[in-house]
Amino acid sequence: MLKFNISNRNILALIVIVTPFIPIFGPIWLIDYSAKCRNNIIKRELRFAGIAYCILQLGLILSLIIPSIVRDKHKVGISHLESNMISIKIALEKYYFATQAYPENIDSLINKGFISGYPYNPFSEIKEPMRHIEFGMEQSEGNFTYIPIKIDNKYQGYYLFAYGWEKDRNSGYDVNGDSKADSVIIVLSGAGSDKIKAKMPSLKELLSKKQNHDDDRP
């Protein structure tokens, strides 16, 4: 066995320097080897270095794995959100086919049996249903906004859009034209016919008018 003393501290330093570059097994070997040392000071130093490197390497590994897991979870959430929005859009089109108009209040889809309920919010930790919210409200993550459009005295068009992950609040589309991202990641629309669609105002126009109207309130 190699006996450490003051004269071969350079060997000890070399072992300590090389060990971090041997993932997991390096620190474990260092801890195991420290038990064989007769010099208590060297034993304590090697053991401390081994434990410290184990913690460091585990931290580095987790720092690489966790962001990847979070990104994958986010992608799955977006995929579910897209599916949920298509389900709501299909219900809206069924409503129009039955009544020749879109609902003024989207909750009519549930009240009149066109959909059993809103799908689960894919970003919710407690599996709560998606909620319809007004544009600009807080807690928009995984929820949606529905804006019916009245043309020729009937609601013959609409915009339907959903909000992304709260941590991506500064990303997504700029839907109101203020040159800032609005966390909106899915935008759908519908119209009774191509002729009606041509008459629909843009989403930016609708939201900017609403914003100006809200700002004018006393």
- The pLDDT tens digits for 29-79 are 555 555 555 545 555 555 555 566 666 656 665 666 555 555 556 677 788
Strands 184-191 and 144-151: unpaired
- Of 24-38, 92-106, 134-148, 178-192, give the range with the top mean pLDDT: 92-106
The answer on pLDDT for 215 being more than 80 is: no
What would you report as the CA-atom Rg of the chain, rounded to the nearest whole angstrom? 30
> What is the identity of the amino acid at 32?
D
In sequence order, what are the beta bridge partners of 146?
A: 160
Please report, in angstroms and rounded to a whole number, the separation of the first and last CA atoms in the chain: 87
Secondary structure percentages of the chain, helix, strand, coil, to 5: 50, 15, 35
CB 195 within 8 A of CB 107: no
| 150-176 average pLDDT score | 84
Domains of the chain, by residue range, sit at 101-216
Q: What is the per-residue pLDDT for 115?
A: 93
pLDDT for position 176: 87
Q: What is the dihedral of CA 133, 134, 139, 144, to 10 degrees?
A: 50
Alpha-carbon distance of 127 to 149, in angstroms, equals 31
How many Å apart are CA 117 and CA 105, to the nearest integer?
14
Interatomic CA distance for residues 106 and 82, integer angstroms: 18
AA letter at 30: L
Model confidence pTM above 0.95: no
pLDDT band at 6 (very low <50, low <70, confident <90, very high): very low
Mean pLDDT of the chain: 75
Among 95-109, 134-148, 169-183, 197-211, the minimum mean pLDDT is found in 169-183
Tokens of residue 55, six digits: 């913690």
Mean per-residue pLDDT for 207-214?
A: 63
The pLDDT score that the predictor gives to residue 4 is 43
